[in-house]
């Protein structure tokens, strides 16, 4: 098993033993002195400029192109990214408000000129969109893009591009 899986199992056991002790089902916490297994810190490899070019070349729609460029510029996490509303992005300056990010904190990130241009082209395809509407919508349902939908779109692009 991978170290993350082992750590997850150990954490569940530790929590369960703490519950048993607190509720009086066990006299002591059997996991109190057990050292938690270490989890290696892994840094994802960065995309090379040629990888990014390949992803953009295989993007069949403006939405996917805008997604790739905006993700690269913003550095937003997937769940933060799909939660964006149109009003969260200032298309002139590129200032993008990430609301309720990791740890419940708000922050601002910025989109570059290429990402803003791609985003404007994508939004022109949605003439009925209002400021409070989701920034990213599904092709099939027209509803807000979910994290799973974003992951699926990126995997599809990556597989087409060989990245």
Q: What is the 3-state secondary structure (H, E, C) of the chain?
A: CCHHHHHHHHHHHHHHHHHHHHCCCCCCCCCCCCCCCCCCCCCCCCCCHHHHHHHHHCCCCHHHHHHHHHHHHHCCCHHHHHCCEHHHECCCCCEEEECCCHHHCCEEEECCHHHHHHHHHHHHCCCCCCCCCECCECCCCCCECCHHHHHHHHHHHHHHHCC
Tens of pLDDT along the chain (163 residues) come to 899 999 999 999 999 999 999 999 999 999 999 999 899 888 888 889 999 999 999 999 999 999 999 999 998 999 999 999 999 999 999 999 998 777 778 899 999 999 999 999 999 999 899 999 999 999 888 899 999 999 999 999 999 999 9
With a threshold of 0.85, does the pTM exceed it? no
């Amino acid at each position: 098993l991978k170290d993350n899986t082992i750590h997850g199992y150990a954490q569940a056991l530790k929590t369960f033993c703490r519950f048993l002790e607190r509720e009086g089902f066990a006299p002591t916490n059997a996991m109190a002195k057990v050292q938690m297994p270490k989890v290696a810190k892994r840094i994802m490899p960065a995309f090379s400029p040629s990888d990014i070019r390949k992803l953009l070349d295989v993007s069949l729609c403006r939405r996917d192109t805008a997604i790739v460029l905006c993700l690269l510029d913003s550095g937003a996490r997937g769940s933060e990214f799909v939660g964006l509303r149109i009003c969260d992005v200032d298309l002139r300056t590129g200032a993008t408000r990430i609301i309720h990010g990791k740890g419940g904190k708000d922050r601002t990130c910025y989109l570059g000129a290429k990402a803003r241009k791609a985003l404007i082209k994508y939004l022109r395809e949605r003439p009925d969109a209002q400021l409070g509407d989701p920034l990213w919508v599904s092709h099939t349902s027209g509803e807000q893009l979910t994290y799973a939908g974003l992951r699926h779109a990126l995997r599809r692009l990556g597989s087409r591009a060989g990245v």
